[in-house]
Structure 1
């Protein structure tokens, strides 16, 4: 599996967008709505085939299914980097490598984009939502079609009290030198090279 994108959540989409733009010094592009979970987003392309999304509950939508993905029903506090998402070439064949609680997957659609994605029944991914969601695109990945930011991810740091167990679970599915797992309170932090110099997104 490989890294596909990062997600910044907020109690409102405006808060998630503002937090991202302030941290990286770049404007986000347009996004869309996810009818299944009643959420919406805005997107920006990163280098190396990745992208970044700001996401929140859409107050004008009624979800087709709850709990929502990314644990958004229980999201509180300021906007922050909340999730990271991996890409699988064959999710059905590879999902046995994931923790049992993270193996359930659903079919998603937004406009002409279609994909499969792991979403636990309770919306909460393992390790306090720090374990990555995994998707399989059923069309060309969208990163290359997005507005480009000139930003490149240089390091992604996961902090968790069960760092050793989290590292073991990740070693089964990912080998990415940008990833670092350390002991501490549950948190995500990403470092970027940007047109404005090094920036940090928490």
Structure 2
């Protein structure tokens, strides 16, 4: 598995986008709609082939599948960094070999993009949504298509009271990702053209 991208959720897409832009000081660009889950997003290119998405339920859309992914049906409060996504080359095999229920692979599309993502039936990922969503791309990765705004991920802190169990279930070895004990949540530190910025 490799780190693929980060997701910031909001009660509205406008709120999620504003949260990212205020935290990092750079503009995001329009993404699109995900018909299966009735969501829409904006995107930000990040160095090293990563990207960041702001995502929310689309009030004009009716989801084809419920609950929505990323636990968006239960999302409340201010916008925040809510999920991280890791890619792999054989999603079905990776999911089958997991010691936790990471979900079942679903085939998804947005425009020319094609991918599979493991989504639990409940929409809730293990360890209070701090376990990553798992993705396998079946089209060119979107990151090279995004405008770069000079953002570089220094590290992502993933906190959970059962950090050791989360780390063991994950088995990811990425020096940018730190699993630590604490209330469930995320904190990402970026280098930007205007200095170091933190996104929560």
Q: Could you tell me whether the CA contact under 8 Å between 2:100 and 2:126 is conserved in 1? A: no
Deviations 1:31-55 (A, max 9, x none): 0000000000000110000000000
> What's the CA shift for 1:73?
0.2
Deviations 1:140-166 (A, max 9, x none): 111001111210101100111111101
> What's the CA shift for 1:95?
1.8
Deviations 1:82-101 (A, max 9, x none): 00000111112222233442
Looking at structure 2, the residues matched to 84 and 149 of structure 1 have their Cα atoms a distance apart, in angstroms, of 20
Q: Could you tell me whether the CA contact under 8 Å between 2:103 and 2:121 is conserved in 1? A: no
Report the equivalent of 1:101. 101
SS in 2 for 1:21: helix
Where in structure 2 are the equivalents of 1:143-154 lying within 5 Å?
A: 143-154=143-154
Report the equivalent of 2:41. 41
Q: Does 1:117 align with 2:117?
A: yes
TM superposition score normalised by structure 2: 0.98
Report the equivalent of 2:175. 177
* Alignment size in residue pairs: 200
> What's the CA shift for 1:182?
1.1
Report the equivalent of 2:199. 201
Q: Which moved more, 1:105-114 or 1:33-42?
A: 105-114
Q: Which runs of 5+ in 1 are unaligned?
A: none
> What's the CA shift for 1:8?
0.2
Q: Does 1:60 align with 2:60?
A: yes
Looking at structure 2, the residues matched to 98 and 30 of structure 1 have their Cα atoms a distance apart, in angstroms, of 34
Deviations 1:90-116 (A, max 9, x none): 112222233442141111010111100
Q: Which moved more, 1:10-19 or 1:180-189?
A: 180-189
Q: Which runs of 5+ in 2 are unaligned?
A: none
Looking at structure 1, the residues matched to 111 and 19 of structure 2 have their Cα atoms a distance apart, in angstroms, of 26
Looking at structure 2, the residues matched to 83 and 50 of structure 1 have their Cα atoms a distance apart, in angstroms, of 14
What's the RMSD between the two structures over aligned residues?
0.9
Looking at structure 2, the residues matched to 73 and 122 of structure 1 have their Cα atoms a distance apart, in angstroms, of 10
Looking at structure 2, the residues matched to 110 and 97 of structure 1 have their Cα atoms a distance apart, in angstroms, of 28
SS in 2 for 1:150: coil
Where in structure 2 are the equivalents of 1:21-40 lying within 5 Å?
A: 21-40=21-40
> What's the CA shift for 1:181?
1.1
Q: Which moved more, 1:141-150 or 1:16-25?
A: 141-150
